[in-house]
């Protein structure tokens, strides 16, 4: 009885081991597509070499996943026969559909990664790229112009051409090439402008991936110009506070009526620069004076808003200088430094309030911030007075010490002289 049970266990174990072996054989099965193409040259060889790094390869989708054919056949003709479903190389125009056969099939994609969107093809057709390719234009971007082919990587892979930091370069490989774009009516300066902008500097120089690359404003797959009506929405994604203020400001309806773009009419799109209070007011650098002229309500508002901003920022700067000076000279000013930080935050918030385009809103906040700024300013003055008093005290102390020491020396000499006598 015991030996019968042992035999049963042995048999089960053997069957289990054999099944494992069979499975691993299936997995290690040679892929004739790769094997044969590794023996070939140039563009027939390249795909087989590059494919080691491809996301599809890593997911177990081999050459046949895209090209069809039978990857177990050693004979070239059989492996690549139409009977076995082989699809030769897709033309540029066919590529979107070729990639989309899987990527726009939610049931299929869910098996691999339920979180991955399946809207790329649908969105692509709505883009200027997709519209033009349908008309037979071969210069516009399709899937592999942005993602490459045979070494396609996850978008989160820093080596992917669509990884955040690489997107501007990928788009500009066409859009900054004046010869390539010669037959189109659009400029080729977007990248040049972008890389000098606050966004370009933040992303490309400081590697701040919170700053927008081309696709954050234009969409990954629906690359159309955002259009006047939707530009605001593009900026709101990140600059919510300014967007909310703008939406209830008098400019909202005024700009809609004029057909003016909400944010970019003042800030531009690719060459957005840092701003100063000068751009509020009515002076040479003013953004307001381009539309408002003397005596209209906007002009007066601009003047008043700028004055409030300048007063606040000057008081803040002076307070900062005083407190920094006191700190350098050794006076403890940590409380004042904290208070100063609060004033700085208020100043930033008051600058945002420009976007309410309502002088009362801005000025009342500026006045509240000004009270705090004045307090810090006073504290700064006291700290500097303390520095001066300390210095006076020190000089007095040194003088007294010197006089005392001189007296002591005179006294010692006198004693010595008395001894000699
Ligand atoms: C025994 C060698 C061999 C095998 C196996 C093989 N190929 Fe090829 N493949 C070739 C040669 C040679 C060419 C170029 C001549 C031609 O087009 O037939 C080629 C061409 C191609 C092309 C380009 C076709 C074109 O029209 O330019 C693709 C795509 C391709 N192979 C994919 C595959 C896939 C996928 C498999 C596996 C299912 C595979 N190959 C298996 C030898 C092979
Ligand atoms: C994700 C889909 C996909 C996979 C997987 C894939 N290919 Fe391709 N392949 C394409 C596309 C798209 C083209 C067209 C490229 C072009 O127009 O430049 C292409 C083109 C080719 C060509 C023509 C030469 C060239 O580079 O344009 C060959 C040969 C080829 N593939 C072989 C292979 C082999 C071998 C494998 C496996 C090692 C493979 N492909 C895997 C999509 C794929
Ligand atoms: C104009 C360039 C461009 C074109 C054309 C393009 N893509 Fe993309 N693709 C991107 C960018 C940029 C991302 C997003 C990278 C990120 O999320 O940071 C992306 C992301 C993806 C992703 C990851 C999931 C997602 O949606 O974020 C897939 C899958 C994808 N693309 C497939 C395709 C397919 C299929 C096509 C052709 C129908 C295509 N792409 C055409 C630029 C492009
Ligand atoms: C046979 C089906 C199939 C075809 C055809 C196909 N893909 Fe994929 N692709 C997949 C699967 C499955 C994944 C893995 C999804 C995952 O795990 O995130 C994937 C992943 C990707 C990713 C990475 C997405 C990420 O996670 O960041 C990109 C980019 C991509 N494919 C682009 C393409 C392009 C471009 C083509 C056409 C040249 C193409 N695919 C053709 C099935 C396919
Ligand atoms: C393979 C070259 C190529 C690549 C790569 C490319 N584009 Fe394009 N793009 C074009 C061409 C060509 C047009 C058509 C221009 C036209 O119709 O006036 C175009 C049109 C556009 C338009 C519409 C412009 C208009 O006003 O008509 C936008 C926006 C755009 N591309 C953004 C992008 C972005 C963003 C990227 C990168 C994510 C990108 N493109 C990558 C070639 C490319
Ligand atoms: C901060 C958002 C933003 C970023 C980042 C951005 N764009 Fe734009 N882009 C816009 C806006 C807004 C327009 C103007 C749309 C209009 O006037 O209808 C535009 C217009 C365009 C156009 C249409 C032609 C033109 O010059 O007017 C192209 C092409 C374009 N951008 C490409 C790019 C490329 C390439 C990059 C990356 C180097 C990029 N954009 C980065 C917002 C952005
Ligand atoms: C993906 C997020 C994102 C989008 C979309 C975006 N921005 Fe920005 N923006 C940022 C970040 C992050 C910074 C800060 C950059 C830095 O560190 O200097 C910034 C900075 C700015 C600044 C300068 C602020 C300063 O302190 O001087 C202005 C102005 C600006 N953006 C306007 C816009 C406009 C207008 C749009 C729409 C056309 C837009 N942004 C779209 C993220 C975004
Ligand atoms: C009528 C012109 C005008 C419009 C429209 C406008 N801004 Fe501004 N924006 C300014 C001025 C002027 C400043 C500088 C304020 C300062 O530094 O005193 C500024 C500053 C900014 C800053 C820098 C940080 C800050 O708030 O001080 C950001 C970010 C910004 N704007 C985003 C936007 C967004 C997003 C929109 C669209 C909802 C928009 N702006 C619409 C004129 C405008
Ligand atoms: C693109 C043109 C344009 C620019 C630039 C512009 N405005 Fe205006 N603004 C208008 C229009 C149009 C109206 C509504 C009609 C009117 O009252 O003049 C308006 C209205 C206003 C109002 C409401 C006036 C009232 O009647 O109560 C204020 C306040 C204002 N703007 C302030 C500013 C400030 C501050 C700036 C600069 C930061 C600025 N505007 C820049 C076009 C502009």
- The alpha carbon of 223 and the centre of ligand 5 are apart by a number of angstroms equal to 7
Confidence at residue 227, expressed as pLDDT on a 0 to 100 scale: 62
Could you count the other beta carbons within 10 Å of the beta carbon of residue 250?
13
Query: Is there an atom of ligand 5 within 6 Å of 175 CB?
Result: yes
Token representation of residue 142: 């399709």
CA angle 210, 352, 343 (to 5 degrees): 100
Confidence at residue 386, expressed as pLDDT on a 0 to 100 scale: 82
Could you count the other beta carbons within 10 Å of the beta carbon of residue 93?
15
Separation between Cα atoms, residue 192 and residue 172, nearest integer Å: 9
Separation between Cα atoms, residue 398 and residue 415, nearest integer Å: 26
Closest atom of ligand 5 to 184 CA is: 18
Query: Is there an atom of ligand 5 within 6 Å of 218 CB?
Result: yes
Confidence at residue 27, expressed as pLDDT on a 0 to 100 scale: 46
- The alpha carbon of 201 and the centre of ligand 6 are apart by a number of angstroms equal to 16
Confidence at residue 2, expressed as pLDDT on a 0 to 100 scale: 56
Confidence at residue 229, expressed as pLDDT on a 0 to 100 scale: 61
Could you count the other beta carbons within 10 Å of the beta carbon of residue 116?
13
CA angle 59, 65, 67 (to 5 degrees): 145
Separation of first and last alpha carbons in the chain: 130
Short-list 379, 353, 375, 356, CA closest to 366: 353
Confidence at residue 18, expressed as pLDDT on a 0 to 100 scale: 45
Token representation of residue 187: 């400029």
Separation between Cα atoms, residue 386 and residue 328, nearest integer Å: 13
Supply φ then ψ for residue 37, to 5 degrees. Answer: -65, -25
Which residues 6+ apart lie within 8 Å of 356 measured at CB? 245, 248, 249, 362
pLDDT 10s digits, 181-209: 999 999 999 999 999 999 999 999 999 99
Short-list 360, 352, 359, 357, CA closest to 254: 357
Confidence at residue 200, expressed as pLDDT on a 0 to 100 scale: 98
Separation between Cα atoms, residue 41 and residue 71, nearest integer Å: 19
Kindly state the greatest CA–CA separation across the chain. 133
Short-list 248, 391, 414, CA closest to 331: 391
The pick from 141, 168, 182, 264 for probing ligand 5's pocket by mutation, whose C-beta has the most ligand atoms within 8 angstroms, reads 141
User: Do 199 and 193 meet the contact criterion of CB atoms below 8 Å apart?
Assistant: no
Token representation of residue 353: 């309030």
Separation between Cα atoms, residue 37 and residue 31, nearest integer Å: 10
Separation between Cα atoms, residue 312 and residue 353, nearest integer Å: 14
Separation between Cα atoms, residue 296 and residue 273, nearest integer Å: 28
Separation between Cα atoms, residue 399 and residue 394, nearest integer Å: 9
pLDDT 10s digits, 259-312: 888 898 999 999 999 999 999 989 999 999 999 999 899 999 999 999 999 999
Confidence at residue 225, expressed as pLDDT on a 0 to 100 scale: 66
Query: Whose structure tokens read 């996301």?
Result: 55
Query: Is there an atom of ligand 4 within 6 Å of 92 CB?
Result: no
Confidence at residue 295, expressed as pLDDT on a 0 to 100 scale: 86
User: Do 87 and 77 meet the contact criterion of CB atoms below 8 Å apart?
Assistant: no
C-alpha dist (Å) from residue 187 to 17, 142, 173, 175, 353: 66, 20, 14, 8, 34
pLDDT-flagged residues of the chain (< 70): 1-4, 6-29, 225-229, 231-232
């Amino acid at each position: 009885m015991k030996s019968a049970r042992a035999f049963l266990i042995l048999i089960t174990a053997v069957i289990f081991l054999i099944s494992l072996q069979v499975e691993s054989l299936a997995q290690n099965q040679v892929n004739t597509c790769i094997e044969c193409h590794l023996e070939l040259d140039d563009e027939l060889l390249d795909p087989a070499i590059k494919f080691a790094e491809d996301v599809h390869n890593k997911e177990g989708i081999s050459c046949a996943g895209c090209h069809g054919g039978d990857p177990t056949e050693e004979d070239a003709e059989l492996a690549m026969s139409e009977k076995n479903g082989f699809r030769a190389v897709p033309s540029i125009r066919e590529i979107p559909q070729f990639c989309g056969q899987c990527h726009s099939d939610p049931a299929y994609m869910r098996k691999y990664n339920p979180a991955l969107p399946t809207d790329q093809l649908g969105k692509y057709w709505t883009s200027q790229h997709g519209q033009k390719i349908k008309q037979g234009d071969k210069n516009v971007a399709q899937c592999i112009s942005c993602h490459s082919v045979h070494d396609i990587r996850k978008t989160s892979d820093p080596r992917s051409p669509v990884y955040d930091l690489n997107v501007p370069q990928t788009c500009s490989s066409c859009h900054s090439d004046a010869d390539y774009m010669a037959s189109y009516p659009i400029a080729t300066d977007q990248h040049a402008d972008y890389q000098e902008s606050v966004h370009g500097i933040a992303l490309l120089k400081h590697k701040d991936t919170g700053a927008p690359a081309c696709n954050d404003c234009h969409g990954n797959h629906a690359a159309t110009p955002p259009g006047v009506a939707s530009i605001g929405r593009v900026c709101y994604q990140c600059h919510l506070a300014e967007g909310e203020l703008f939406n209830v400001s008098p400019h909202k309806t005024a700009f809609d009526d004029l057909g003016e773009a909400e944010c970019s009419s003042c800030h531009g799109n690719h060459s957005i620069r840092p701003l100063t209070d000068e751009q509020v007011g009515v002076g040479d650098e003013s953004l307001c004076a381009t539309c408002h002229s003397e005596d209209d309500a906007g002009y007066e508002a601009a003047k008043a808003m700028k004055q409030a901003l300048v007063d606040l920022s000057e008081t803040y700067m002076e307070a900062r200088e005083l407190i920094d000076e006191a700190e350098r000279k050794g006076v403890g000013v940590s409380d004042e430094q904290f208070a100063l930080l609060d004033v700085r935050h208020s100043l930033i918030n008051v600058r945002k309030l420009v976007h309410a385009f309502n002088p009362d809103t801005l000025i009342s906040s500026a006045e509240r911030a000004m009270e705090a700024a004045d307090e810090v300013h006073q504290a700064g003055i006291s700290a500097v007075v303390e520095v001066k008093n300390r210095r006076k005290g020190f000089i007095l102390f040194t003088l007294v010490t010197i006089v005392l020491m001189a007296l002591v020396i005179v006294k010692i000499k006198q004693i010595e002289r008395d001894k000699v006598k």
